[in-house]
Structure 1
Amino acid sequence: MKIAFVGKGGSGKTTLSSLFARHLATAGAPVIAVDADINQHLGTAVGLSDEQAAALPSMGAHLPQIKEYLRGGNPRIADAASMIKTTPPGSGSRLLRITEDNPVFALCAREFTVDGAVLRLMATGAFTEEDLGVACYHSKVGAVELCLNHLTDGPGEYLVVDMTAGSDSFASGLFTRFDMTFLVAEPTRKGVSVYRQYRDYAADFDVNLRVIGNKVQHEDDVAYLREAVGDDLLAVFGQSEWVRRSEQGRAPRLRELEPKNHGVLQTMHEAVDASYLQRNWVRYTQQMVRFHLRNAESWGNAKTGTDLAGQIDPDFVLREDDLAPAEARDTALAL
């Protein structure tokens, strides 16, 4: 199950995404949490030290190796250099599974024990000095999109992505890659305006969008959000002493979270699991193709000198059962 957290900058989406990842992990589920925000704070939010978070490898820095692995033996892709962030899988492509070990995860994921549970973390990577003034941050997020295009996941396993703030999420087709998108909204006009903008942009793409109210102080805040977002409001997260202690670096255990706020995490968990029944792999693959063609025509063909429409395998549909066990596949590629 693939879950995105979006919202206005400062709304608390990193806090909620970190709490949800910890909740899933402590429930015994396999979880990968991905920091895809330009402000890289997910690591410390889940309880890592500043040093541990800073040591997370950059997915963006390993994009050539990621492409080479995922390309596999796909005859429609001549080389890794001709792959772009939207390149869809086809016959011969290597796919990823949340529960496996593979060269991509060996390069880009690190495993930690948080609240006594195992949690794997990945990060797009922050801007480097070489990036400043010459690179767009979305080139780094492209590594996440490419991995999600090649991810075949099932129920009971989770990938949680802390996305870029506001409408920046729409700078690529990544916003369509999720079973559930949680928009974190404060009970303010700005918080609601971001929700409305996201809802309107996503309306034509079958995005499963639910709102989590955050920093809610009293029933008037709840009524304000319910009036503004209607049935999209799933739950409200109240003012939290636990969150304040966490932001101060005191690293409280998840079991110390206020019961009402812990109940919000459980409600979110149930909503995510229920969304599996709505999964449509054919539509998912079609959306990959749609955004790949748009990117190819807009800039990809010119950049690669190749007609990237030829990368599309018309007979291929990504499915949950496409991936054989890791030990049965050829993973000998040296990255």
Structure 2
Amino acid sequence: MKIAFVGKGGSGKTTLAALFARHLAASTPAAPLLAFDADINQHLAAALGMPEDEAVLLPALGEHLTEIKEYLRGSNPRISSAAAMVKTTPPGRGSRLLRVAESNPLYDRLVRDVGGVRLAVTGAFAVEDLGVACYHSKVGTVELLLNHFVDEPGEYVVVDMTAGADAFASGLFTRFDLTVLVCEPTLRSTRVYRQYVDYARDFDVRLAVVGNKVDDDADVTFLREQVGDDLLTWIGRSAFIKAAERGRILPITDLEPANAAALCAVRTALDASVKNWGRYTAQAVEFHLRNAIAWANDRAGEDLADQIDPEFVLGPATPTLSVR
């Protein structure tokens, strides 16, 4: 099951993504889990307990894009080369697919255990990128990976997304079973919620709001007035979270009971999501065609619509290539 945490900058989405990942990792038995930091600020590793000076040394997905493409392409005859793959390229017969819990060369090189959570990071926006690159090119690596992911009930992919509505620069926003909008009880924060709802309305994106930094009943009432039934649960002010923000990572079992119950509510909502692999595959195709027409055909020098395998539907029964 794939879950994204989004929200206004400073709303606490990275904190919530880290808490939820730690909650899953500490469950009994521990849930198969993989987390991605797809935020330009790259703070998820620190939120999971890794010192900042070590977090900056994590291998970056964006720096291994050619290797990732070569692996995923496998023997798919519709993809002429790794260079012809773009962030929206969908899998087809012959492609290599990814599972949450497996051994493969990509995980060996790019995934690290951070505080009991298997984590991959897109990489920070570097000095050499300034003025010449777009961060979406890095986030696009996550979209490409998720297009090739086969996850089943009881397995989890947790993604800390870019702030605001940046995810709508591609089809990445359709890649999740549940999108959690982290909202503070403020008008600015709930405006991001409304923007997300407006953009996602036509794409069957399942949304839930988790209130954060909630002090009292008045805050809950305000959130209900702004987001209605989309309010799933909320996180109250927390000494546990404050300690983490000051660099002291406590055991997840020390989280306040009410806040731990909120994480359980998120997991219950995620587990209740009904997967529709046909729709998931069709949306990947739709956004690939949009990007091909808009820019990717010109960049690749070929018609990338030819990469679409019309008889392919991603899902648990889809055969995968063996690792070589």
In 2, distance between residues paired with 1:199 and 1:127?
Answer: 28
1:185-334, aligned counterparts within 5 Å?
185-275=183-273, 278-324=274-320, 329-332=321-324
Q: Which residue number in structure 2 is paired with residue 67 of structure 1?
A: 69
Local SS of the residue matching 2:313: coil
Gap regions ≥5 residues in structure 2: none
Q: Kindly report structure 1 stretches of 4+ aligned residues shifted beyond 3 Å.
A: none
In 2, distance between residues paired with 1:330 and 1:153?
Answer: 17
In 2, distance between residues paired with 1:219 and 1:313?
Answer: 52
How far has the Cα of 1:235 moved from its partner?
0.2
The residue type equivalent to 2:322 in the other structure is: D
How far has the Cα of 1:129 moved from its partner?
2.3
In 1, distance between residues paired with 2:206 and 2:54?
Answer: 33
How far has the Cα of 1:219 moved from its partner?
0.2
1:110-149, aligned counterparts within 5 Å?
110-112=112-114, 114=115, 118-149=116-147
In 2, distance between residues paired with 1:120 and 1:279?
Answer: 23
Q: Retained in 2: the 8 A contact 1:2–1:159?
A: yes
Q: Which residue number in structure 2 is paired with residue 173 of structure 1?
A: 171
The residue type equivalent to 1:314 in the other structure is: P
Q: Which residue number in structure 1 is paired with residue 7 of structure 2?
A: 7
The residue type equivalent to 1:35 in the other structure is: D
Q: TM-score, normalised by structure 1?
A: 0.95
Alignment partner for residue 92 of structure 1, among 73, 94, 101? 94
Local SS of the residue matching 1:321: coil
* Count of residues in correspondence between the two structures: 322
Q: Retained in 2: the 8 A contact 1:96–1:323?
A: no
How far has the Cα of 1:134 moved from its partner?
0.5
How far has the Cα of 1:323 moved from its partner?
4.3
Q: In the TM superposition, what whole-angstrom CA distance separates every residue of 1:157-207 from its partner, at most 9, and x where no partner exists?
A: 111000000011111100000000000000110011100000010000000
How far has the Cα of 1:70 moved from its partner?
0.3
The residue type equivalent to 1:164 in the other structure is: T
In 2, distance between residues paired with 1:253 and 1:174?
Answer: 32
How far has the Cα of 1:107 moved from its partner?
2.1
How far has the Cα of 1:48 moved from its partner?
1.2
In 2, distance between residues paired with 1:57 and 1:291?
Answer: 28
The residue type equivalent to 1:54 in the other structure is: V
In 1, distance between residues paired with 2:229 and 2:127?
Answer: 45
Q: TM-score, normalised by structure 2?
A: 0.98
Quote the sequence identity (%).
Answer: 61
Local SS of the residue matching 1:96: coil
How far has the Cα of 1:51 moved from its partner?
2.9
How far has the Cα of 1:89 moved from its partner?
0.2
